Amino acid sequence: MGERTEYAPGTFSWVDLTTTDQDAARAFYRELFGWGADDMPAGEGIVYSMMTKDGHHVAAISPQPQAQREAGVPPTWNSYVTVASADEIAAKAAALGGTVHAEPFDVFDAGRMAVIQDPQGAWFMVWEPKRQIGAGLVNAPGALVWNELGTTDVDGASAFYGQLFGWGIAPFEGSEQPYWSIRNGGRSNGGMMPVQPPHAPPHWAVYFGVDDLEAAMARVQELGGTVHAGPIDIQMARIAIVADPQGATFALYDGELEA
């Protein structure tokens, strides 16, 4: 298992779900992954549900902001990258052609964050940790195992993220489909590919580990979710693209995991 007590800057460290039905989403993921919930007050009448696995925080589920609901934004899994300074990275992202939609702000005493959109349109968050480092467990069944960018411009996205975070981005040899690996400080840190289907908006996809892909796909459907694709063989693993009952898309991963 990949227990974590810190993350190097530039590493994906956290994911959270903004959804139209927080209670239903908690129930779905509890049954699918065996998650518990540690609810944290996050404003008047709002809780931020820190989801747990084997005693570790692994993700969170929160209500979708009203402005997003009114705009018709679907429930979404969000990816966070650890940084040494949210303020510095936000300013750098803007200088590189990104858009800072939420300027850096403190999240109580947990950390400091910003919401950014890359030049191609994919959203991500940066996280400057204070009390909360992010996920205490990754690369395990029921935990985050991968973050993947689908983009309309691989070269442009590679230049943006390479300069922003210092990532090494290179073609993945042997892949049947065009794919680029992302490395941060010598460790695997996600992947990048042309967005699929071609008309879909650029986005960061979130993958969670499972022990048995077919059983997990069946369980998604039993719980009211949808299987969009899979099983798909990607050499080192088998994956599926699914959605929860509220429509948030994520991926299941059954295969090799780094420590």
- The pLDDT of residue 1 is 59
- The pLDDT of residue 42 is 79
pLDDT in tens, 125-163: 999 999 999 999 999 999 999 999 999 999 999 999 999
- The pLDDT of residue 73 is 84
Residue 40 has pLDDT above 70, yes or no: yes
pLDDT in tens, 207-226: 999 999 999 999 999 999 99
pLDDT in tens, 99-132: 999 999 999 999 999 999 999 999 999 999 999 9
pLDDT (average), residues 184-188: 91
Q: What ranges do the domains of the chain cover?
A: 2-129, 138-255
Q: Which of 114, 118, 115, 79 is nearest to 96 (CA)?
A: 118
- Over the chain, what is the mean pLDDT? 94
- The pLDDT of residue 173 is 78
Place of tokens 């009390």: 131
Q: Identical fold at 2-129 and 138-255?
A: yes
- The pLDDT of residue 45 is 79
Residue 72 has pLDDT above 90, yes or no: no
Direct distance between the N- and C-terminal alpha carbons of the chain, in angstroms, rounded to an integer: 6
Give the contacts of 117 (CB within 8 A, at least 6 positions apart): 98, 99, 101, 123, 124
Residue 172 has pLDDT above 90, yes or no: no
Place of tokens 């349109």: 121
**What's this model's pTM, rounded to 2 decimal places?**
0.95
Residue 81 has pLDDT above 80, yes or no: yes
Question: What angle, 0 to 180 degrees and rounded to 10, lies between the N-to-C axes of helices 213-222 and 22-33?
Answer: 150
φ, ψ dihedrals at 95, nearest 5°: -65, -25
- The pLDDT of residue 63 is 94
pLDDT in tens, 235-259: 889 999 999 999 999 999 999 888 7
The whole-angstrom separation of Cα 188 and Cα 178 is 17
- Domain 138-255: give its CATH superfamily: 2,3-Dihydroxybiphenyl 1,2-Dioxygenase, domain 1 (3.10.180.10)
Q: What is the pLDDT confidence band of residue 54, given thresholds at 50, 70 and 90?
A: very high
Q: Which amino acid is at 55?
A: G
Domain 2-129 has CATH 3.10.180.10: yes
